[in-house]
Amino acid sequence: MEHIEGHAVINTSAPPSEPARLVEDFTPELIDVGEHGLCPGCGEPIALRSAVEAIADLDVIQRTIAVFGIGCYTAFSNNLDVEVMQALHGRAPSLATGAKRAKPDTVVFTVQGDGDMVNEGLQEVLHAAARGERITCIMLNNGVFGETGGHMTATTVLGQRTKNTLDGRDAEAHGYPILLSNLVAQLEGAAYVARGAVNNAGNVARTKKMLLRAFESQLAGEGFSFVEILTMCPTGWFIDTQEAPGYLSEHLGSVHGVGVLKDRGEERVGS
């Protein structure tokens, strides 16, 4: 194997010496098309996989409706064996509200990015939370508009360089990032609020638990549940793929802290 600047590089100019063989297929059953068109190193597929695994683990797949926003992850709305309602940019929580109110026995969750949820549709998620809407909103937060090629969103941290904050996000010029989980947690109608990440195995496992707990909260009718998941976007961050997990911890993760912010179910059990 060749090495360039210490990194192993697979030679793709000639066929491999022996054919690749499938040792084990780890693709969850609810993912129809394992391939995706997203960039190498993107965190969104891991986050989505965790969500559909949680749905499968809870055995609620035949009463689940996913409502997708618009972003890179939208490609998956077409490739999951989950019923999907495709929403407009920013508008998934109102569609999810309508679906859940019309069919109260379903499990309804949204999949949105930070641009979708915090920029375009902030009032949607806040009002859904305030109403205690019995839905689960999942925000994939990478701090940039990934699909447009790395532009500032409302969650971009101070100092972060994006295509429209070339010298880094400056509070004077661009304002401060919105820490959405912290906002949502303050609303009475929110029953469960957590912020996970998918930049290492520990965080992936932790995030999966958060997702399970959020869906359980919805099933128990506790109120609105919310899981924000920090995801890598090496393309939109303009860094090498392998640097992205560390970059996430140092930049995005240092402002948007990982952890459970609110768990009304636990509070009830504890009191």
Partner 1 sequence: MTVTSQPRASRRLLEGSEAIAEAMIAAGCRFFAGYPMTPFTEVLEHMAAKLPAVGGVCMNAESELEAVGMAWGAAATGTYAATGSTGQGLSLMQESLAEISLARVPLVVLNMARAQGDYYQATRGGGHGDYRTLVFAPMDVAEAVELSQLAFHLAAQWRNPVLLFGDYYLAHTTQSVAVDPIDFGSVPAPDWALDGSTGGTGRARLVSPLGGGKRRDDVGYDLSEHYRDCAAATEEMLNRVEPLVDTAFVDDADVVVVAFGTPGRYIRAAVRSLRDEGAKVGWVRPISLVPFPTAAVAEAARGARAVAVYENNQGQMIDDVRLAVLGACPVHFIGGLSLDHSGFGIAPDLDVAVLRERIAAVLDGAKER
Q: Name the residues that contact partner 1, by CB under 8 A.
A: 29-30, 32-33, 35-37, 55-56, 60-65, 67, 74-75, 77-88, 91, 93-103, 106-107, 123-124, 127
Q: Are 89 and 116 in contact (CB under 8 A)?
A: yes
Helix (H, G, I), strand (E, B) or coil at 41: coil
Q: How far is the CB of 89 from partner 1 (least distance, A)?
A: 9
Four-CA torsion 63, 69, 74, 77, nearest 10 degrees: 20
Q: Write down the least CB distance from residue 171 to partner 1, Å.
A: 29
Both tokens assigned to 249: 């911890």
Nearer to partner 1, 96 or 227 (CB): 96
Rounded to whole angstroms, how far apart are CA atoms 139 and 129? 13
Of residues 128 and 261, the one with the C-beta less far from partner 1: 128
CB of 190 to partner 1, least distance (A): 16
What is the closest distance, in whole angstroms, from the C-beta atom of residue 153 to partner 1 in the complex? 20
Closer residue to partner 1 in complex, CB, 101/268: 101
Q: What is the DSSP string of 65-107?
A: EEEE-SSGGGGGGGTBSSEEEEPPTT-HHHHHHHHHHHSTTSE
Nearer to partner 1, 82 or 180 (CB): 82
Which two tokens mark 251? 């930049």
